[in-house]
């Protein structure tokens, strides 16, 4: 897998529009009940973030908030959520009114520098059109020694299932060695890595030398 390639603003807008329209039309399908085994795997995903009480947590590509009740168990001080689909966020706010939501592409999300302890990108990494812009901004928002959890509760093979069923491109999840190369320029080191048939977890840690 090559390093992230630049992408034009025009193409990013086109991809984001296609995603927004799709997820606005399907938001109701992302509500519980979930497929068998998924709730348990989501617990493992959130546990990988090593959330401490009073942390600030950002759920990127939050959808209707499937991770929120699990995150809340760790009693963080703040939970933020951002998504490209406004209808997803409307439902999230109904379910979890205490979460501060942002209708935005993560590359454009404006949070104070060094504000976030843990960021989750659950089941949305392949959808991010501008990964350079996204991880540049995530790196700015994450505190020193903060964590970024990239995950999918159905495993990376699920993306192959989706590729021919959506109108926008989907990137594959990286293996551990590739992840080390991809995210080093953004100041991240690879921590926990799980690549099972029905579970993918990649934890990135803000490198100690990054200040």
> Which residue did the predictor score with more confidence, 106 or 34?
106
Rounded distance, CA 88 to CA 26, Å? 9
Rounded distance, CA 165 to CA 191, Å? 32
Q: Are residues 201 and 148 in contact, defined by beta-carbon separation less than 8 angstroms?
A: no
Q: What is the pLDDT of residue 32?
A: 84
Q: What is the pLDDT of residue 29?
A: 86
Q: Where are the domains of the chain?
A: 9-206
Residue 175 DSSP class: -
User: Could you tell me which of 29, 148, 18 has the C-alpha nearest to residue 85?
Assistant: 18
Confidence of residue 209 (pLDDT cuts 50, 70, 90): low
Cross-strand bridge partners of residue 200: 152, 195
Whether the predicted pLDDT of 2 surpasses 70: no
Write the pLDDT tens digit of every residue in 113-145. Answer: 999 999 999 999 999 999 999 999 999 999 998
Confidence of residue 110 (pLDDT cuts 50, 70, 90): very high
| CATH no. of 9-206 | 3.40.50.150
Residues in Cβ contact with 210 at an 8 Å cutoff, skipping those fewer than 6 apart: 139, 144, 187
User: Could you tell me which of 8, 124, 10 has the C-alpha nearest to residue 58?
Assistant: 124
Number of C-beta neighbours around residue 172 at 10 A: 14
* Helix orientation angle between 86-95 and 9-26, rounded to the nearest 10 degrees: 50
Rounded distance, CA 106 to CA 91, Å? 19
Write the pLDDT tens digit of every residue in 164-203. Answer: 889 899 999 999 999 999 999 999 999 999 999 999 999 9
Burial class (CB in 10 A: 0-12, 13-18, 19+), 2: exposed
Rounded distance, CA 40 to CA 189, Å? 26
Cross-strand bridge partners of residue 91: none
Write the pLDDT tens digit of every residue in 35-73. Answer: 999 999 999 999 999 999 999 999 999 999 999 999 999
Distance set, CA 71 to CA 5, 29, 66, 79, 108 (Å): 33, 21, 10, 8, 24
Rounded distance, CA 161 to CA 166, Å? 10
Strands 116-122 and 100-103, bridge-based pairing = unpaired
User: Could you tell me which of 146, 199, 201 has the C-alpha nearest to residue 179?
Assistant: 201
């Amino acid at each position: 897998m090559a390093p992230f390639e630049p992408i034009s603003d025009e193409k990013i807008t086109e991809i984001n529009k296609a995603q927004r329209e799709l997820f606005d039309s399907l938001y109701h399908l992302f509500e519980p009940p979930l497929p068998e085994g998924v709730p348990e795997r989501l617990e493992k995903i959130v546990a990988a973030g090593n959330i401490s009480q009073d942390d600030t947590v950002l759920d990127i590509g939050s959808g209707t908030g499937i991770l929120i009740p699990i995150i809340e168990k760790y009693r963080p001080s703040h939970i933020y959520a951002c998504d490209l689909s406004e209808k997803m966020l409307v439902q999230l706010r109904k379910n979890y009114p205490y979460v501060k939501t942002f209708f935005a592409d993560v590359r454009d999300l404006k949070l104070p520098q060094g504000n976030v302890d843990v960021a989750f990108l659950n089941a949305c990494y392949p959808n991010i059109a501008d990964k350079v812009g996204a991880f540049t901004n995530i790196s700015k928002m994450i505190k020193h020694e903060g964590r970024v959890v990239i995950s999918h509760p159905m495993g990376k093979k699920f993306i192959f299932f989706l590729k021919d069923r959506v109108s926008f491109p989907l990137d594959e999840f990286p293996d551990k060695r590739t992840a080390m190369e991809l995210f080093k320029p953004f100041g991240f080191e690879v921590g926990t890595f799980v690549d099972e048939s029905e579970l993918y977890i990649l934890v990135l840690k803000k490198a100690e030398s990054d200040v």
